[in-house]
Amino acid sequence: MENKILGLHHITAIAGDPQRNYDFYTKTLGLRMVKKTVNFDDPQTYHFYFGDEVGSPGSILTFFPWPNVRQGKDGAGMATEIGYSVPKGSLEFWKDRFEEKNVRHYQITEQFGERKLPFQDPDGLKLSLIEAEHADDRKGYETAEVKTNAALKGFHGVTLSLNNIGATAEILTEVFGYKKERSEGNLTRYKTDSVKNAAIVDLLELPDLPRGLNAGGTNHHVAFRVKDEETLMAIREKVLKKGLQITEKIDRDYFFSLYFREPGGVLFEIATDNPGFATDETVQELGSSLQLPDRYEGAREQIEKALPKLKH
């Protein structure tokens, strides 16, 4: 387990209207907002974190919601689909729910022997609900409308679209410790055995796919999980040895992280488990009030005035 990547930590995407984004992920999908804060580089923009009850690594989808953001477009060098694990037998519940709520969705299909239901959020972000072939013992967050027998448990995996998967696969296997599992057509599955869940990265090879536009309805980066800061810095050395540029350690309040762009163009982050989300709020209070990084606390009044009002 030394210096190992422990699957996915979080995924960050770009949205438009903050209220619409909040309503979809908490009310339609039944996730918990575990943190309401601001973009570290743009404090007049929210940063929302949605996940399970405590914001477990591997369950967290985060958003920068920019009102009036231009529509993005998926392309090569981007994460193009997020897969959530759901309980076996729950896809029919979700299909009915999506029809009732006018959520854009597709037919239930099968991939790598697992049933999946592809859909899109209101900004066009591509996601899927997947009935994992292995026993996923994580407990999803329960709401009045989405009970435990259907609740999203956390990530199953993520799909990266690339012109050529070779160099990206090398990072996954040689630096992150993933292993090639199997292929279906031009889709190849890589998996880590360091954790049971949120352990999959699928690489989709599309040689002629043009580069996309990273804006509304697209993924900004994919964050991989490590236990602590010591492991974080050990992985940093491995990335440097591959001749890639990588940032210094950054304190994100709820985790420490590094960023680098892998050879295929996808922005990767590596994030620690520590200290977690219950640092400035209790578990019961998570997501209930606006949390600001220390450097912005003095400007709280101006920031709160600039941010769109959010109805919980």
Whether 311 is in a domain gets the answer: no
Percent above pLDDT 70 for the chain: 99
Whether 279 is in a domain gets the answer: yes
pTM of the model: 0.97
Residue 60's DSSP bridge partners are: 10
- Structural domain range at position 160: 8-306
Cα distance between the two ends of the chain: 41
Whether 312 is in a domain gets the answer: no
Average pLDDT over residues 6-20: 98
Whether 24 is in a domain gets the answer: yes
Separation of alpha carbons 188 and 204, rounded Å = 7
Whether 188 is in a domain gets the answer: yes
- Is the pLDDT confidence value at 2 over 80? no
- Is the pLDDT confidence value at 34 over 80? yes
Report the CATH number that the domain containing residue 200 is assigned in CATH.
3.10.180.10
pLDDT tens digits, 187-206: 999 999 999 999 999 999 99
- Is the pLDDT confidence value at 1 over 80? no
Single-letter amino acid, residue 15: A
Q: What pLDDT is stored for residue 216 in this prediction?
A: 98
- Is the pLDDT confidence value at 101 over 70? yes
Q: What pLDDT is stored for residue 312 in this prediction?
A: 87
Separation of alpha carbons 256 and 130, rounded Å = 30
Instruction: Provide the domain count of the chain.
Output: 1
Q: What pLDDT is stored for residue 228 in this prediction?
A: 96
Separation of alpha carbons 311 and 64, rounded Å = 17
Separation in Å, CA 66 to CA 2, 75, 210, 289, 307:
39, 21, 25, 19, 10
Whether 3 is in a domain gets the answer: no
Whether 14 is in a domain gets the answer: yes
Q: In what order do the strands lie in the sheet with 60-65?
A: 32-39, 42-51, 60-65, 8-15, 219-226, 267-275, 255-261, 250-251
Q: What pLDDT is stored for residue 3 in this prediction?
A: 80
Whether 252 is in a domain gets the answer: yes
